[in-house]
Chains A and B, each alone.
Chain A
Amino acid sequence: SEDDGRTGISRWLKKATTKEDVSAKKVRKDRAQRPTRAVQQAGDSDSDDGFTAVGKDGKAAEGPKYTEQNLNESLLALIAQRGRKNTNKQAAIKALETLVDVGVNALQKAKVLMALLSAQFDSAPSSGYLAAETWHRAQARVNELLQLLENQQQITISETGDSHDYKEDYAYKGAAITLRGSVIAFIDRLDDEFTRSLQHIDPHTPEYVERMRDAVPLYLTIVRAQGYFERSGLSDSLCRVVLRRLDHLYYRTDAVNAHVEKQAAGLAHVEKQAGLPSAAASGDSVIAGFEPVVPSTTTAVQGIIHALCSFLYHNADPVGRSRAMLMHIFNHALHKRYHVARDLLLMSHIQENVHQADVRTQVLYNRAVAQLGLAAFRLGMVQESFEHLMELMSTGRQRELLAQGVGQQRVQQLSPNEEQLQRQRQLPFHMSINLELLECVFLTASMLLEIPFMAASAANPDARRAPISRAFRRMLDWNERLVFMGPPENTRDHIMAAAKALAAGHWEEACDMIRAIKIWALLPDADEITAMLTSRIQVEALRTYLFTYATQFESVSLDGLAAMFGLPKPKVYALLARMVYHSEVQASLDEVGAMLVFSRANYDASSRLQQTALVLSNKVNAFADINERVFELKINGGQPPADRQQQGGGAGGAGGDQQRANYQGRRDGPGQGRRDGPGQNRRDGPGQNRRDGGGRGRGGHRGGAMGGGHRRNDNN
């Protein structure tokens, strides 16, 4: 344990020499706060210079001979031992605890408490976490320190303060004084240790639940610290503590938060009774003057989150700002305020530079996007939901991307080091987004989009063949290849069965399958969602049916369709009108006879020969394209065709742009650009080539200029 302790100390050691060591050992989850932390450490190491001047062995400081006069020396001696080999940390803690009681005035107490807290945190093992009991003690001490600072407002603690190792501390009379230290570091550490313990405890045990109970006291401590920072005007620490507070709030629903906030308000109440300054605990009062005193209702909680976020938007550094933004988005999405959340995401332009952000922010971004997808789905916006989730789900690494563990296959690929990193990043279980639910939503959305699309592209040889959702298509193919099909067991099976029923036009069966999925119950508005899904399935079934069997009909009666798919007639009418207007089916409506009349082109298309002719013409065109490409390759002297690559790069870039444009210029509708992007590119690329090549052909050739011409072209 000595060795353990060594690293544990070095984690927290305030020495410049160990800084590298620290940064190597602890790749902390909160890289975001790294720079400030480093600054702080540097600052603290300065103060150490003052401390180390008085070096004594540990034994001398021990024993019951502490008095308020020699307290300062004893304290310095204890501090000096910190981080050395062969130091008995438990003994040091014990000694410091007695010192706390010896201290006669606030100044002495504050100094001892700070040292004690450092010592307590030092005792954490390097791998693993601070035991719950120790953590509780540390938390109590932090509260004590905060209490002291609340009572003695003339004492402030700041990272740039005085080291104050004077012997005359016992004679302190209450003059304004600034001590050197960092309260935010204690808060950070307390919170981090809590998170780490949750990471390590199996979430399915009572121990986890037990541990979760500490979340509220911890939150209260954070709120209290916020009050202190507001009073002492430490804006940097204030931003950090507000961010921590948000960290505790954003993933919970308003109802839960209201409960917690009530306690926070109660805290203020108690303190008021005790005759303490009221500004201390109702921390937001400075931030947002408009806030109600007792935030018990859900709207008030929403107000708190809003106030905290807007405080950070104005005051925090860019990283903090974007984290606050993402948490705000997540919270909006969680409460089904999809449009607000989406607009916030689009206007923040976070998606443009999230790739350069630190991992924790990226994870938060992914979480926000996933939650946005869920929100869209809950509102019945299937298309939007799909667009949001697609990127996340099609990687197959959603566990990793959401920092909720590592997928089974990926475990083997990761090096132990990476694996440890992953584990450090992992979010506590209670914060995680249910992956099965996410998958279920994604697949259901895919089904609703993909099945009619498949039917449409099968009927129309010109249609784009690339699937909307590759992941879904792959699963469906795999499912169809199965020789023996059992009844559906898990969520995925249910959706696949529903998809097959939908493709065949059996909407009722599809509905039953989807309704049978149990996981919907996890969503707060499950009934609404199943109702929404039913009506969506009816609509998509009708569309699929028409796409599939259009060639077999000369006309269809509206009443018949309405009866068949259980839809009201006006809705069928509107649906058909939409399909006709967008030329999805070659038909027109007959108002007088209330039917859909297919045009002649439609039965032409039914003939096999015609279809084949169309396919053939497409293939010949493709052949000609390939020919041109081969020629281009040749003209480059057998070299890998640079222009092709460039074009490929260009197309990829364009795709990326489009994706970005999605978020930026959301007006194209999420992802519409994405779908058009590559297709358009593909279509335009060769076409342009062809045209230009033609121009050259007519205008007389000029040697090898052709290749150059093409290259220029492709870059357009």
Chain B
Amino acid sequence: MAEYDLTLRMVQSLDRQLVYPLLDFVASKEVYKAEDILRAKYELLSHTNMVDFTGQLYEKIHGTSELPAEFAAKREKVIEMLEEGELKTEHIREIIENPEVAGLLRQDKLQNMKLLRDNYQCTPEMVLELYNYGQLQYSCGNYGGSADMLFHFSILSTDPELTLSAMWGKLASEILLGNWEVAYEDMFKLRETIDKSHFKSQTELLQQRSWLLHWSLFVFFNHAKGRDGIVDTFLLPQYISTIQNSCPWILRYLTAAVVTNRRRRNMMQELVKIIEQVSYSYRDPVTEFVEALYVDFDFDRAAAKLEQCEDVLKKDFFLTVAFDDFVENARFFFAEVYCRIHKRIDMAALTKRLNMKQEEGEKWIVKLIRDTRMDAKVDFKDNSVIMNPSYNPIYQQVIERTKALVFRSQVLNGAIDKRGNSSAKKDEAKQDQKQKQKQPQQQQQQQKPGRRQPESAVPVAAQ
């Protein structure tokens, strides 16, 4: 079932430590060989400073309880570095955590720096130390500390590149801590920064955006408002093109988000367009379900794909929670399209397609009809549903079209009079309606429509 597993593709755009939960999840679903995953985990973490944990993994892989000497050496070194960082940043941390100072800080970063330098003997180097220390802490798995450090740094630093990098670090820390509320805000801040800042090349921008797309999945699928957020963010033109250019697999999450978010039903059309266009480079059961339903109108295939989705979603780190939601809403979309197209529906066939039992299906359909206030009736004799599609009679169409005419003519008329008045003041010789000039405007307006009546009356007569 590794066919639809996205872990490998996602890894490219995620931070090492963010990959870890993914690997953990994949391990529990037994998609890959357990041994391979252990190795992958080890490989992943051996470049971080989480020495103890890496050591445990090493033991597990090699089945020994003895660690090579380098682990101990590395451990020593990391601890030393941590102490050094602690020492170096002590001064500046004290200052920043002082509420007095916090109150003095303003929007202008240069100003802030000057203030700190003049009053508290802070140098830019010290600020940079904050960044290094934050990075080190993150690397050691102390996310709370790194989030704080990097937050302070991003406020104080005047270097846009490092600030951006610090923001990424902060976001990762918050994600790993599970502070979804904060992460949600951080992510939007980051999005704004990326959109605003200038990158050297388009490629870099593309990379930043595709990172954001991947990282934000953690936030969106864990935050309460995430489902709205993901739809809004991912459907922005710049992110759509990022998805299409560099990471089409994100489409699965977007599709799942749109399907599970019934309030954003109008987004479906847009999504269908994108799916259709990307289908040559990426497809999985989730997108294929939408494609079958909205592009090919092949209900049998759509039903089959929906069944396949179950397996895919349950094995997806992000979507496994949303599984029930997805199936429920997918059925709803399915039924909606089905009802819109058909006049008479065989209930048995529909319930079968929706993968439900006869009775359960009937209940579901009746509920659907009631909830959506469709103009539909169930015919128990034939066991079918009869839809009464509304249509717009031609008479109504003609009325609608000609309705505005009277008003338009009236407005035009009024405008002509206005003009008549103003130009008359300039040149009286041109005016031949002298008595109208003196009449109050409102009367004129009433008169003109009367005169115009025949024109607009033509279509009305046709009714």
**Which residues of A are in contact with B by a Cβ distance under 8 Å?**
339, 343, 347, 570, 573-574, 577-578, 580-581, 586, 588-593, 597, 599-601, 604-605, 610, 613-614, 616-618, 620-621, 623-624, 627-628, 631, 634-635, 665-669, 690, 693-694, 696-697, 701, 703-704, 706
Judged by a CB distance under 8 angstroms, whether B402 is at the interface is yes
A624 touching B343, Cβ below 8 Å: no
State the Cβ distance, A686 to closest chain B Cβ, in Å.
10
State the Cβ distance, B138 to closest chain A Cβ, in Å.
34
Instruction: Identify which of B245, B342, B394, B401 contacts A588 (C-beta below 8 A).
Output: B342
B394 touching A601, Cβ below 8 Å: yes
Residues of A within 8 A of B422 (CB): 703-704
State the Cβ distance, A575 to closest chain B Cβ, in Å.
8
User: For chain B, what secondary structure do more than half of its interface residues adopt (helix, strand, loop), or is it mixed?
Assistant: helix
A613 touching B398, Cβ below 8 Å: yes
B343 touching A589, Cβ below 8 Å: yes
Q: What is the chain B residue whose CB lies nearest that of A704?
A: B422
A667 touching B346, Cβ below 8 Å: no
A586 touching B415, Cβ below 8 Å: no
Q: What is the chain A residue whose CB lies nearest that of B445?
A: A697
B343 touching A597, Cβ below 8 Å: yes
**Which residues of B are in contact with A by a Cβ distance under 8 Å?**
237, 240-241, 244-245, 273-274, 277, 280-281, 296-298, 300, 337, 340-346, 349, 382, 384, 387, 389, 391-394, 397-398, 401-402, 404-405, 407-412, 414-416, 418-419, 422, 441, 455-456, 458-459, 462-463
Residues of B within 8 A of A578 (CB): 297
A693 touching B342, Cβ below 8 Å: no
Cα-based distance from A701 to B440 in the complex (angstroms): 13
Cα-based distance from A305 to B30 in the complex (angstroms): 42
- With A592-B344, A667-B277 as given contacts, are A628 and B462 in contact (CB-CB < 8 Å)? no
A592 touching B384, Cβ below 8 Å: yes
Q: List 22 A-B contacts (CB under 8 A).
A: A339-B280, A577-B297, A578-B297, A581-B297, A589-B341, A589-B342, A591-B345, A592-B384, A599-B391, A613-B459, A614-B397, A627-B412, A631-B416, A667-B240, A667-B241, A667-B277, A694-B407, A694-B411, A696-B411, A701-B414, A701-B418, A703-B418
A590 touching B274, Cβ below 8 Å: no
- With A581-B340, A591-B345, A667-B277 as given contacts, are A601 and B393 in contact (CB-CB < 8 Å)? yes
- With A588-B341, A666-B277, A706-B418 as given contacts, are A613 and B411 in contact (CB-CB < 8 Å)? no
State the Cβ distance, B436 to closest chain A Cβ, in Å.
15
- With A578-B297, A613-B394, A617-B402 as given contacts, are A693 and B411 in contact (CB-CB < 8 Å)? yes
The 9 tightest CB contacts between A and B, nearest first, are A577-B297, A697-B411, A588-B343, A601-B391, A701-B418, A617-B401, A610-B394, A590-B344, A613-B462
Cα-based distance from A628 to B407 in the complex (angstroms): 12
Residues of B within 8 A of A613 (CB): 394, 398, 459, 462-463
Cα-based distance from A616 to B392 in the complex (angstroms): 18
State the Cβ distance, A572 to closest chain B Cβ, in Å.
11
Q: 9 other contacts beyond A616-B462, A620-B405, with CB at 8 A cut-off? A: A339-B281, A581-B341, A613-B459, A620-B458, A624-B405, A631-B415, A667-B273, A696-B415, A697-B410
Residues of B within 8 A of A343 (CB): 245
Residues of B within 8 A of A690 (CB): 404, 408, 411
Which of B342, B409, B422 lies at the interface centre, i.e. has the most chain A CB atoms within 10 A of its CB?
B342
State the Cβ distance, B320 to closest chain A Cβ, in Å.
29
Cα-based distance from A635 to B345 in the complex (angstroms): 60
Residues of A within 8 A of B410 (CB): 697
Cα-based distance from A599 to B298 in the complex (angstroms): 23
B405 touching A704, Cβ below 8 Å: no
Instruction: Identify which of A591, A593, A665, A706 contacts B241 (C-beta below 8 A).
Output: A665
State the Cβ distance, A350 to closest chain B Cβ, in Å.
14
Cα-based distance from A588 to B340 in the complex (angstroms): 8
Residues of A within 8 A of B462 (CB): 613, 616-617
Cα-based distance from A26 to B458 in the complex (angstroms): 70
Instruction: Identify which of A581, A610, A696, A697 contacts B337 (C-beta below 8 A).
Output: A581
Cα-based distance from A493 to B411 in the complex (angstroms): 53
Cα-based distance from A694 to B393 in the complex (angstroms): 28
B415 touching A601, Cβ below 8 Å: no
User: For chain A, what secondary structure do more than half of its interface residues adopt (helix, strand, loop), or is it mixed?
Assistant: helix
Residues of B within 8 A of A668 (CB): 273
Cα-based distance from A104 to B34 in the complex (angstroms): 74
Instruction: Identify which of B244, B346, B387, B459 contacts A592 (C-beta below 8 A).
Output: B346
State the Cβ distance, A278 to closest chain B Cβ, in Å.
35
Cα-based distance from A343 to B244 in the complex (angstroms): 10
A697 touching B415, Cβ below 8 Å: yes
State the Cβ distance, B134 to closest chain A Cβ, in Å.
36
Q: What is the chain A residue whose CB lies nearest that of B463?
A: A613
Residues of B within 8 A of A696 (CB): 411, 415
State the Cβ distance, B244 to closest chain A Cβ, in Å.
7
State the Cβ distance, A620 to closest chain B Cβ, in Å.
5
State the Cβ distance, A660 to closest chain B Cβ, in Å.
14
Instruction: Identify which of B342, B345, B391, B398 contacts A617 (C-beta below 8 A).
Output: B398
Cα-based distance from A701 to B411 in the complex (angstroms): 10
Q: What is the chain A residue whose CB lies nearest that of B425?
A: A703
Residues of A within 8 A of B414 (CB): 697, 701
State the Cβ distance, B344 to closest chain A Cβ, in Å.
4
Q: What is the chain A residue whose CB lies nearest that of B407?
A: A694
A590 touching B342, Cβ below 8 Å: yes
Residues of B within 8 A of A624 (CB): 405, 408-409, 412
Q: What is the chain A residue whose CB lies nearest that of B292?
A: A574
Instruction: Identify which of A339, A620, A694 contacts B402 (C-beta below 8 A).
Output: A620
A669 touching B401, Cβ below 8 Å: no
Q: What is the chain A residue whose CB lies nearest that of B298?
A: A574
State the Cβ distance, B239 to closest chain A Cβ, in Å.
12
Cα-based distance from A696 to B411 in the complex (angstroms): 8
Cα-based distance from A590 to B346 in the complex (angstroms): 9
Residues of A within 8 A of B382 (CB): 592
- With A617-B398, A624-B408 as given contacts, are A667 and B274 in contact (CB-CB < 8 Å)? yes
State the Cβ distance, B23 to closest chain A Cβ, in Å.
31
B346 touching A591, Cβ below 8 Å: yes
Q: What is the chain A residue whose CB lies nearest that of B294?
A: A581
State the Cβ distance, B369 to closest chain A Cβ, in Å.
16
Residues of B within 8 A of A347 (CB): 245
Q: What is the chain B residue whose CB lies nearest that of A706?
A: B415
Cα-based distance from A603 to B277 in the complex (angstroms): 37
B397 touching A599, Cβ below 8 Å: no
State the Cβ distance, B386 to closest chain A Cβ, in Å.
9
State the Cβ distance, B243 to closest chain A Cβ, in Å.
10
Residues of A within 8 A of B341 (CB): 577, 580-581, 588-589
Cα-based distance from A694 to B405 in the complex (angstroms): 11
Cα-based distance from A580 to B338 in the complex (angstroms): 11
State the Cβ distance, B173 to closest chain A Cβ, in Å.
34
Residues of B within 8 A of A590 (CB): 342-344
State the Cβ distance, B273 to closest chain A Cβ, in Å.
6
Residues of B within 8 A of A618 (CB): 401
Residues of A within 8 A of B274 (CB): 667
Q: What is the chain B residue whose CB lies nearest that of A621?
A: B401
Cα-based distance from A690 to B344 in the complex (angstroms): 43
Cα-based distance from A694 to B414 in the complex (angstroms): 10
Q: What is the chain A residue whose CB lies nearest that of B237?
A: A665
Cα-based distance from A238 to B342 in the complex (angstroms): 66
State the Cβ distance, B339 to closest chain A Cβ, in Å.
9
Residues of A within 8 A of B343 (CB): 588-590, 597
A588 touching B389, Cβ below 8 Å: yes
Cα-based distance from A696 to B398 in the complex (angstroms): 26
B389 touching A628, Cβ below 8 Å: no
B412 touching A693, Cβ below 8 Å: yes
A614 touching B415, Cβ below 8 Å: no
Cα-based distance from A618 to B384 in the complex (angstroms): 41
Q: What is the chain A residue whose CB lies nearest that of B442?
A: A700
State the Cβ distance, A129 to closest chain B Cβ, in Å.
43
State the Cβ distance, B365 to closest chain A Cβ, in Å.
13
A617 touching B459, Cβ below 8 Å: yes
State the Cβ distance, A607 to closest chain B Cβ, in Å.
8
Cα-based distance from A704 to B392 in the complex (angstroms): 41
Cα-based distance from A6 to B393 in the complex (angstroms): 83
